[in-house]
Amino acid sequence: MRHGLITFFAALGGVLVALFSFQLYGKFATDRARAQADAEQQAKIEQGRQLVERTIADERAVAAIRNDVAAASMARVAITEYYMVNGRMPASNAEAGLPGPETYKGQALRSMTVVQDGSMVLEFDATSGVEGGRIEWHPDLTGIESMGMQWHCSTHDYAQIARALPNCEYLPPSGADIGTGK
C-alpha cells in the first residue's frame, strides 16, 4: 500500500508539474504572439509615418518648382523680345539682357541659363526632390507670326513633373542634355 501511495503522489506531482509547464508555455506563446503583433503594428505605424513625410516632401517640391518656374517666366519674355528685335535667338543670359545664371534663386531654383538655341535650362537643388534636377524650356518658332512664340517644357529628371507643371513633358533619360553635352 505504501508503494501505491508513493506511486499515486508521484503521478499526481507529475500531472501538476505538466499542467504548470503547459500553462507557462501557453503564457509564453501568448506573450510571444502579442510581442510579434506589437512589432508588426509598430512597423505599420513607421511605414505610415514615412509615407506622410514623403508626401509632405513631395508637395513641398511641387510647390517650390511651381513658384520658381513662375518667377523665372519673365526670362521667356526677354528671350522672345530679343528674337523679335534681332531675328535670332540669344545664346546666353547676357545676350538676352538677363542677369547671370546663378542670380536666379528661389525655393529650389539654383540657376537659370539661356543656351545657344534660346532654350532655358532651370537647375534645382534637393528641395525640388532631385539634387541637380533640370527643367528645360524650348522655344518653338513654328507659327510665330500667327500665335507668337510658343514654349515647350521637358525634363529628364522629374517623372512626376505633370503634378507641378501639367504642360511639361517627362522624357526618360537617354540622349544628350541641352547645354552640357551629357
> Is 91's pLDDT higher than 90?
yes
Looking at per-residue pLDDT, the higher value among 181 and 17 belongs to 17
- Residue 19 identity (one-letter amino acid): L
Prediction pTM value = 0.70
In this predicted model, what pLDDT tens digit does every residue of 127-155 receive, in sequence order?
Answer: 999 999 999 999 998 878 778 889 999 99
CB 133 within 8 A of CB 93: no
CA 36 to chain centre: 32
Residue 181 clears pLDDT 50, i.e. is over it: no
Per-residue pLDDT, 10: 85
